[in-house]
Structure 1
Amino acid sequence: MNKTISTLLGLLICVACTQKSEETHTHNEDDHHHSHYSSMANIPAHKLIFPSKAPDRIIVSLTEDPNHSFSVNWRTSQEIDTAYVQIAEETHGPDFLLDKDLQQIIAATELIQVENTRDEEPLVNAAYHSAIIKQLKAGTTYVYRVGDGGKNDDTWSEWFQIKTPSTNQNEPFSFIYFGDAQNDVKSMWSRVIRKSYKMMPEVDFMLHAGDLINHSESDREWGEWFYAGSFIHATVPSIMTPGNHEYDKSVDRKKLSSLWRPQFTLPENGPLEELKETCYALDYQNMKLISIDAQSFSNSERSRQAQTKWLDSVLSKNTKKWITLTMHFPIFSTAKGRDNKELRESLKPLIDKYNVDLVLQGHDHTYARGYASNEGLGKTIVQDAGAVYAVSVSGPKMYESQKQDWMVKRGEYVQLFQIITVENSTIHYNSYTTKGEVYDSFSLIKDENGNKKLINNKSEVTMRLKKDYVKEK
């Protein structure tokens, strides 16, 4: 295709997208063409809340085909109603800018208006942009940036690097698992995600087990979450499952945050239209990764039946050696008053039937890890342990737990992140404190016939309980 035809096609696409945007969204003409935030400079968190022409809240996510694609989302003011991604293979210097294969891809744009009256936050008008970059080479490092397509670098992001995974299914990979960030995200969770990245800068992706923030419609809190991860969000792909706090409390947790789908681009292969990008499955190397929308599951019988039937279908067709499920509400909770009986009765039979390996959860604001067959035996080496269940918390909001038979290790009043490395026959799981010391560790070994052996490894930090740090008045 010659440059003239290519340019004409690009212009037609831009016009079509702009017309679609105008048809879909209505907004005040002044809001679109002029910044109305200059008078808001006296708001302490205005840099977290309000967008500008320069891209912010940039985040990359895994797709159903991580070897050959990734998705990217970002935000600007509504002055930018057409946006682009530029991408090329990484080079030793700036010569990628001269590469004839440098691509410019138009993004989908959605104009969003949010006013969080619950927390007395101001009205925010923003443009949310998203694109799925496809037809990439596996095992290749790319550079990309996002912006308005103009020549002014001020309205483009910096260039980020991102590497696609290898097609070698047995090549080791690592990911970081976070429980609830939720509260004081800028001040207290930032050090957790940054410490995890410092310890594993070559990490392949991050997994967030729900309750990323506290109030679903709070633009300031979402701003804190993106601020805390900063460039890490733009270079390390994420997947996330929603928690109860990603659902709007004002309507009894029945409505997903209005910013969830504009901010993230996740697989849309769930069983119901309303479960797109919250309940989904994807393959990463030799692992099947599945997100269950636990809040929706508890909201309605329709969702419960649909997700259970869908999970059965996905697992029955699985060809990957390892299976990891993530959901917000735990199958086995850390406190008896927080039991999720319907979730357990629906999903545990499938977890057992299909020999699921890891179930990674949040919600309880404590730590616990174990397996259903543990029965308090405390063995170092366990044959046929079944699925390993973990509940973790990465933010500063802390509850208390109760010792239960399924637990091998538990903890309270400790912020944690988990680095999980998957090899051909072994999963290495290490839970770290914010000081980078091992709180819990195990290795899960699987032979060619699917038989599993679990080895509990030594920890560097003894069990922490909240009562030892916070005395009752």
Structure 2
Amino acid sequence: MMNKLKSNLIFLIVTVLLFASCGVVKSDLVVNNQIEVELLREPYLQNSFADSISVLWKTNVGKTSMVKYGKTKELSNTSLGTIEKDSNSVRHTVTLKGLERGEKYFYAIYSDDELLAFGDDYYFRVEPLDKKSKFSFYAMGDIGEPVEKGGFPQITSFQINSLKEKPNFGIGLGDIIYPKGESLFADEYLFKPMESILKNIPFYPALGNHDWGVAPDLNFEKEWKLPNNEHYYSFDYGNSHFIALDTRNGELFDVENQVKWFENNLIQAQGKYDWIFVYFHHNGKTCTYKKDEKAVISLYPLFAKYNVDVVLNGHAHTYERLHPYDSGGNVIEKYRANTETYPEISNGFIQITTGAGGKLQKNWLPQPEECGKNIVAAVAHTGHFSLITIEGKKLQLQVISSIGGMLLDSFTMNKN
């Protein structure tokens, strides 16, 4: 009998050690006949407009979603949310409303009454009520390249997180998740490397050609909570208007409806904002290794006619700022001389490629002098992000390297 007990005990110990050596994850643990809730994706922020914001995260199991929040870490407010289950995870969305404009809030997330995340880095800032208040945002494209293939989204994320003043939000210029935009790789290639900034800086991506690799209605739209139809949408922040477009594979998605919507959106924005930004994935004219995209160039007349100030794109894994263009894509000569300071650009716009947030084109160097009519104002071939600061009618752009935080390019535009 004693030998049998010893044998059973040895078997039990060996079994426990075997499972331990295999790396049993928390989601495999069962407490009181229930699978314990595990946080699979750190919270990330969406739709921080006016007095509301949405907090999203992902777990292995869970029936409820809750966020506690407050201007101090006592977290005196509570909001419940919704869940969406798929084959191997639960997606949580909680929208907080009635927030005090211009205030900083701390938050904590819960599922099934279990605290999943809370701390100094879990906070958000609400858009100020004063339209003249200073704010900033970062922009970068071509982000979610796997680290094992040379990608560096975690390095760019670290540099953004190291800024003395955190941006109020970020925009993504397409190719958000390689290789085909599949949700299967979203956490490993994007959300994990960028979690340090996604948890406290709202992020608004546009679709790129890689994000179109597998049906975006089953992938991209599942990962994000964006306005309109998520393919093309707009939002306001402070005294500025932002429009995201879907350039798909170089041809505009749902072209007739999207262009009509775009022009109507621009018409409605006239006279209401000091600044208008348009962003998407593909370049128009360029001196990079990418071809000129006719679909984007066809939008130039709308940019110029409806007072678009800055157009931002990715696609080329490098940085390129062009001289101000007119409606025909011609350099406006009077702005060529001074590339560091601009007045308000009448009937024209500045186009910027900022497409090396997580991937750099190898075995290639910019050669703008060989591009014909010298359309390039500045180039930088290294991992980077663009930081744009708005203070009333003054705009400042700074391009910052992912490694070292060096200033690669800058200019100001003053409409006063």
Alignment match of 2:51 (pick from 58, 68, 73): 68
SS in 2 for 1:261: helix
Count of aligned pairs: 365
**Relative to 1, partners in 2 of residues 1:43 and 1:137: Cα closer, same or farther, differing over 3 Å?**
same
User: 2:82 maps to what in 1?
Assistant: 108
Deviation string 1:409-456 (CA, Å, 9 cap, x unpaired) is 1233x1011111001111000101121111111001113xxxxxxxxx
Cα offset, 1:40, TM superposition:
12
Cα offset, 1:127, TM superposition:
0.9
SS in 2 for 1:130: strand
Counting aligned pairs with the same residue, the percent is: 22
The answer to whether the aligner puts 1:85 opposite 2:54 as a matched pair is no
CA distance in 2, matches of 1:258, 1:162: 28
Cα offset, 1:185, TM superposition:
4.6
Cα offset, 1:284, TM superposition:
0.2
User: 1:148 maps to what in 2?
Assistant: 111
Larger-gyration structure (1/2): 2
Contact 2:357 2:383 in 1 (8 A): yes
Alignment match of 1:171 (pick from 117, 133, 147): 133
When normalised by structure 2's length, the TM-score is 0.80
Cα offset, 1:291, TM superposition:
0.3
CA distance in 1, matches of 2:234, 2:186: 28
User: 1:24 maps to what in 2?
Assistant: none
The answer to whether the aligner puts 1:438 opposite 2:407 as a matched pair is yes
SS in 2 for 1:298: coil
User: 1:391 maps to what in 2?
Assistant: 353
Contact 1:85 1:147 in 2 (8 A): yes
Alignment match of 2:306 (pick from 351, 354, 360): 354
Alignment of 1:424-435 (within 5 A): 424-434=392-402, 435=404
CA distance in 2, matches of 1:221, 1:263: 8
Cα offset, 1:130, TM superposition:
1.3
Contact 1:267 1:277 in 2 (8 A): yes
Q: Match of 1:429, as an amino acid?
A: L
The answer to whether the aligner puts 1:277 opposite 2:268 as a matched pair is no
Deviation string 1:132-153 (CA, Å, 9 cap, x unpaired) is 2222111112122222141x43
SS in 1 for 2:67: strand
SS in 2 for 1:228: coil
Cα offset, 1:103, TM superposition:
1.7
Cα offset, 1:104, TM superposition:
2.8
The answer to whether the aligner puts 1:328 opposite 2:313 as a matched pair is no
Contact 1:55 1:146 in 2 (8 A): no
**Relative to 1, partners in 2 of residues 1:53 and 1:426: Cα closer, same or farther, differing over 3 Å?**
same
Deviation string 1:223-257 (CA, Å, 9 cap, x unpaired) is 231111223211111111111111125xxxxx216
Alignment of 1:71-470 (within 5 A): 71-77=54-60, 79-87=61-69, 89-91=70-72, 94=73, 96-97=74-75, 99=76, 102-105=77-80, 107-113=81-87, 125-150=88-113, 152-153=114-115, 156-159=116-119, 160-185=122-147, 188-215=152-179, 216-217=181-182, 219-248=184-213, 255-256=215-216, 258-268=218-228, 276-295=229-248, 298=251, 303-318=254-269, 319-335=272-288, 338-345=291-298, 347-370=299-322, 371-372=324-325, 373-374=330-331, 378-380=336-338, 384=345, 386-392=348-354, 393-398=356-361, 400=364, 401-403=366-368, 404=371, 405-412=374-381, 414-434=382-402, 435-447=404-416
**Relative to 1, partners in 2 of residues 1:41 and 1:158: Cα closer, same or farther, differing over 3 Å?**
farther
Q: Match of 1:166, as an amino acid?
A: P
Contact 1:110 1:262 in 2 (8 A): no
**Relative to 1, partners in 2 of residues 1:382 and 1:338: Cα closer, same or farther, differing over 3 Å?**
same
Q: Match of 1:227, as an amino acid?
A: K
**Relative to 1, partners in 2 of residues 1:297 and 1:130: Cα closer, same or farther, differing over 3 Å?**
farther
List runs of 5+ in structure 2 lacking aligned partners: 1-18, 29-35
Structure 1 residue runs of 4+, over 6 Å off? none
SS in 1 for 2:152: helix
Cα offset, 1:214, TM superposition:
0.9
When normalised by structure 1's length, the TM-score is 0.71
List runs of 5+ in structure 1 lacking aligned partners: 1-37, 114-124, 250-254, 269-275, 448-473
Contact 2:79 2:96 in 1 (8 A): no
**Relative to 1, partners in 2 of residues 1:391 and 1:43: Cα closer, same or farther, differing over 3 Å?**
farther
CA distance in 2, matches of 1:375, 1:138: 40
CA distance in 2, matches of 1:112, 1:443: 47
Alignment of 1:31-70 (within 5 A): 53-54=38-39, 56-63=41-48, 66-70=49-53
Cα offset, 1:131, TM superposition:
2.4
Cα offset, 1:199, TM superposition:
1.8
Cα offset, 1:221, TM superposition:
4.7
Contact 1:179 1:362 in 2 (8 A): yes
**Relative to 1, partners in 2 of residues 1:103 and 1:214: Cα closer, same or farther, differing over 3 Å?**
same
**Relative to 1, partners in 2 of residues 1:391 and 1:246: Cα closer, same or farther, differing over 3 Å?**
same
User: 1:463 maps to what in 2?
Assistant: none
SS in 1 for 2:133: coil
Contact 1:430 1:439 in 2 (8 A): yes
Contact 2:41 2:192 in 1 (8 A): no
